[in-house]
Structure formats: C-alpha cells, structure tokens
Amino acid sequence: MATIASIQDALERVNLQDPPAEQKREKAGKKPVKPFRFLDLPFEIRMRIYGFVLFTPRRKKALRTTGSVGASSKNKPVAPVSDRISLFLVSHRLHDEATYFFYSSQTFRLFPIQDYSRLPPVRNLPPRYRPSITSIELILGSSWTAPPRSWRVNDGLGLEEMVRARTLKVFIQCDPSHPVFEGFRVSKDYYTVFAGNLLQQVLARLPNLTWVEFDGYPSVQRKGALMRRLLDETRAAGKKILWGPERGWTGDPEEDSEEVHEAVECEVPYEGQENGYSSQTATVAA
C-alpha cells in the first residue's frame, strides 16, 4: 500500500501546464515555422493578392449583382462581405492599401437607376473612400419624362473629393429628342436641356478629370440633339472625348461625320390603358 509520503511525492512531480511551443515542435519532429512578412513583398505583388481576396466569389458561377446597363455592369464579381472585412481589419496599412485597390478597381454610378446593382452610388459611399475612386459613370435616358429629384449635383455628392477620378463614363439609354418619342415626351428639348445642365455641373466639380467616354444603346444617334449637347458641354469644359465599346462609334470625336448603322427597334412607353402603361415598338435609324 502506497504511503501518504509517496503519493505526495508523486503529486509534486505532476505538471498541469502545457509544455512550451518549442518543446511541442521538438517532440513532433517539426521545425519551427517563422512568420511570413507580407508587407515585405513588393507593392505590385501585394496588389495582385488583394485582387484574389477581394474579387474571388465563393460560388463557381457568381451571381451578377452589378446590373445590366453601362460600364458599371462590367465590374468584377466581388468576394463575400466577410472576406473583404476580414482583410480590411488586419491593420491600418492593409486597410489603406486594400480599400484603395477595391475602390479604384470599380466603376461607380453617380446616380441610381432602375437597374439593381449591389455597389452603392457615390452619394452613399463613406467620404473617406471617395478619393480612391478613379472611374465613375453617369447613365442617362431613364425617367426621361420626370427625372428623379435626387439627381442633383451638390456638396453631398462629394465630387470635389474624387481627386483621383480621371474618367467619366456617360452611357445613354435613349434620346427622347428623336421623333419617335413625339407625343410621349414633355417637349423636344426638355430632357436634352436637363442632361446637358447635369453634365455641365458634374464636369465643373471633378477637379482632375481628363476623359469623358460616351457609349449607348444602338438607337442612340451621335448626331442626335442629346449627344450634340453632351459633346458640346464636354468640349466647353476642356475634356478629351472617348468612345465606349458597346455602341461602336469610331473616328475622330471632333469630326461631325458618323457611320451608317442599320435600323434598330426600341420600345417606347405609352398610356394605352386607363390605369397603366403599355409599350409599342418603333423603328429608329441608328
């Protein structure tokens, strides 16, 4: 029978604490792992890694949450919010680098339209991220009979803070000055004047803008009243003009010549019933 003294002696030799990490690795036969100094990597490689983390969705076929209209619809599918926030919260330096990469890689809409996009318009972005934006988009043509009251250029839009914005993309869905809209529009020049004044105010507030890229649906004519007004405002502001890829315009933007395109069909809403709207199809020479 064990004596009390032997039991007491055995208990004194018992160690209830975990062995040191180095001792654990020695017992497992593994070499100690040194921490990887991520910030010692070149800046370009860090940006590439941020791209994998921020723009790799978990789904094999990611859902389109960037809308279907304009250049903003071509934004890359983003990673889940939890992945992005985890990266942003690592440290102040990683937050600054990763958020700059994220916001400078996207095209943000100036104003919301009836086309769902998960990315908020610039008015809803936190002010601290607006200086990282390099590309913004103005989509014109929707609500051509009654533009939303929120489509106002003021201090709340934060355009003066977008010091890195070099390109403004303007996408035109339709030109209500075309004769096909006769009888449905407020007046021939109503939307042309509204859109021209809006673009003029936007260009005046962007401090370092260089390019204005125009694009649109096939029914939009380069010689139409709306496009002529927008081009005049761009030239008056001293900005350079580019053509977007969808409409297919080519040639010198300063020239008045325009390519001949086939006629296309577009839907024009009309009040066909007492309590609702229907639509009719009209052929427009594009």
- pLDDT tens readout for residues 218-257: 989 999 999 999 999 999 999 999 999 888 888 766 664 4
* Residue 61, C-beta contacts closer than 8 angstroms, at least 6 positions apart: none
Within a domain: 153: yes
Does residue 206 fall inside a structural domain? Answer: yes
DSSP 103-149: HHTSEEESS--SS--SSPPGGGS-GGGGGG--EEEEEESTTSSS--T
Say what the pLDDT of residue 22 is. Answer: 60
Share of residues in the chain with pLDDT > 70 (%): 74
Percent of the chain with pLDDT over 90: 37
The tens digit of pLDDT for each residue in 18-28 reads: 666 666 555 55
Q: Please report whether residue 126 resides in a domain.
A: yes
Is residue 5 included in any domain, yes or no? no
Kindly report, residue by residue over 154-180, the tens digit of the pLDDT: 998 999 999 999 999 999 999 998 888
pLDDT exceeds 70 at position 151: yes
Is 117 within the bounds of a domain? Answer: yes
Burial class (CB in 10 A: 0-12, 13-18, 19+), 75: buried
pLDDT classification of 75: cutoffs 50, 70, 90: confident
The SS3 assignment for 254 reads coil
- 93 domain residue, yes or no: yes
> Confidence band (pLDDT; 50, 70, 90) for 78?
confident
Query: Which residues are paired to 108 by β-bridges?
Result: 136
Predicted confidence (pLDDT) at residue 35 exceeds the cutoff of 50? yes
**Who contacts 77 (Cβ-Cβ below 8 Å, separation ≥6)?**
55, 57, 62, 63, 64, 65, 66
The answer to whether 159 and 123 are in contact (CB under 8 A) is: no
For 256-275, letters b (16+ CB in 10 Å) and e give eeeeeeeeeebebeeeeeee
For residue 159, tell me if it sits in a domain: yes
Structural domain that includes position 212: 36-285
Total domains present in the chain: 1
Rg value, the chain, Cα? 29
Q: Give me the pLDDT at residue 267, please.
A: 41
Confidence check: pLDDT of 262 > 60: no
